[in-house]
């Protein structure tokens, strides 16, 4: 197995979000990648500059950050050609690694735009090196910049950041400094190609929590009526955990609950509502073991919501 550590640079509509192509908000203009063998030793590198066709003019912020000149872009290859070269270079037994979760999503969105999405089977398991760095060296929750992590680990800096191959190189060097146990215990799942039906739904049990990815629903309300979506089973013993605080929402995207397992204690639940490109809804639910302090925070959050609703009711009278 090879580890493919890749980075993308992209452009966006220079005339504002209201004039962007809704099917392609970010157009990839550069792919850079480093291949590591099973021992995480560098074996090969890959680089392509891609000629933009949707947003031919560079967004001012993209130009400031990436600094690719117009001549280089005009001499670039097409995205379909670059994508085929990249996947052929990756090989059939490749495991993707990125800094953060966005690159893999935008790669697939660009593939879909050009009718190439069938070349990559999803949902895609991958290693989010930004998350792994946080788990290994910080609190597991923070998400620091690539340059911060590079400096923290005292990795020599020879190339400028915000170019695809350079960023892929720095990411690969950080990955080499993360234990294999940490990597495999905390792999990530990209759900751009989300489950469509019940038989495709995903349950993943990690060391400290469980993740569930549902099939598609027409609305958020339909999703919250589904028994599996709102269930709270203890992922350690598999027994049903009684809800102490039923699912509630502080906004339109996230729902929370608190349950208790007689054997393993409190479980905090979080449901994130996700939208597909076609306007359908699916759910990503996590259930984590927690303690009395976090249980108290969930109770306080629920009480705050009740107070806000009470104030609104009085204002409406």
User: Which residue has 């992209």 as its token pair?
Assistant: 10
* Structural domains in the chain, sorted by start: 2-188 (3.30.420.10), 196-316 (no CATH)
CA distance 161 to 196: 38
Q: What are phi and psi of 252, to 5 degrees?
A: -85, -10
Q: What are phi and psi of 108, to 5 degrees?
A: -70, -35
pLDDT per position as a tens digit, 210-260: 999 999 999 999 999 999 999 999 999 999 999 999 999 988 889 999 999
Put simply, whether the predicted model's pTM sits higher than 0.85 gets the answer yes
Whether the CB-CB separation of 116 and 23 falls below 8 Å is answered with no
pLDDT per position as a tens digit, 247-285: 999 888 899 999 999 999 999 999 999 999 999 999 999
CA distance 18 to 53: 18
Q: What order do you get walking across the sheet with 242-249 strand by strand?
A: 202-205, 209-213, 281-289, 265-275, 254-261, 242-249
In the structure encoding, which two tokens stand for residue 217, read together? 């629903």
pLDDT per position as a tens digit, 147-206: 999 999 999 998 889 999 999 999 999 999 999 999 999 999 999 999 999 999 999 999
């Amino acid at each position: 197995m090879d580890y493919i550590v890749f980075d993308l640079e992209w452009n966006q509509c220079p005339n504002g979000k209201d004039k962007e192509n809704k099917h392609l908000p970010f157009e990839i203009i550069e792919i850079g990648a480093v291949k590591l063998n099973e021992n995480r030793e560098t074996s090969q590198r890959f680089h392509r500059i891609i000629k933009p066709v949707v947003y031919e003019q560079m967004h001012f912020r993209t130009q400031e950050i990436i600094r690719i000149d117009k001549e280089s872009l005009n001499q670039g290859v097409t995205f379909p050609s670059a994508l085929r070269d990249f996947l052929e270079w990756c090989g059939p037994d490749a495991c993707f690694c990125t800094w953060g979760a966005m690159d893999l999503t935008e790669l697939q969105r660009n593939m879909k735009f050009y009718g190439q999405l069938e070349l990559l089977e999803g949902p895609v398991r991958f290693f989010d090196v930004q998350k792994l760095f946080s788990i290994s060296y910080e609190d597991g929750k923070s998400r620091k910049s690539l340059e911060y992590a590079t400096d923290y680990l005292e990795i020599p800096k020879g190339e400028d950041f915000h170019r695809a191959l350079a960023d892929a190189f720095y990411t690969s060097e950080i990955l080499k400094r993360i234990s294999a146990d940490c990597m495999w215990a905390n792999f990530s799942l990209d759900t751009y190609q989300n489950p469509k039906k019940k038989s495709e739904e995903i349950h993943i049990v990690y060391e400290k929590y469980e993740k569930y990815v549902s099939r598609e629903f027409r609305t958020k309300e339909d999703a919250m009526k589904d028994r599996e979506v709102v269930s709270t089973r203890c992922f350690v013993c598999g027994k049903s955990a009684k809800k102490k605080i039923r699912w509630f929402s502080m906004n339109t995207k996230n729902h929370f609950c608190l349950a208790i397992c007689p054997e393993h204690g409190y479980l905090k639940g979080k449901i994130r509502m996700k939208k597909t490109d076609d306007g359908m809804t699916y759910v990503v639910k996590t259930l984590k073991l927690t303690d009395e302090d976090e249980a108290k925070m969930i109770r306080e959050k629920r009480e705050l919501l009740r107070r806000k609703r009470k104030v609104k009711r009085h204002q409406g009278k």
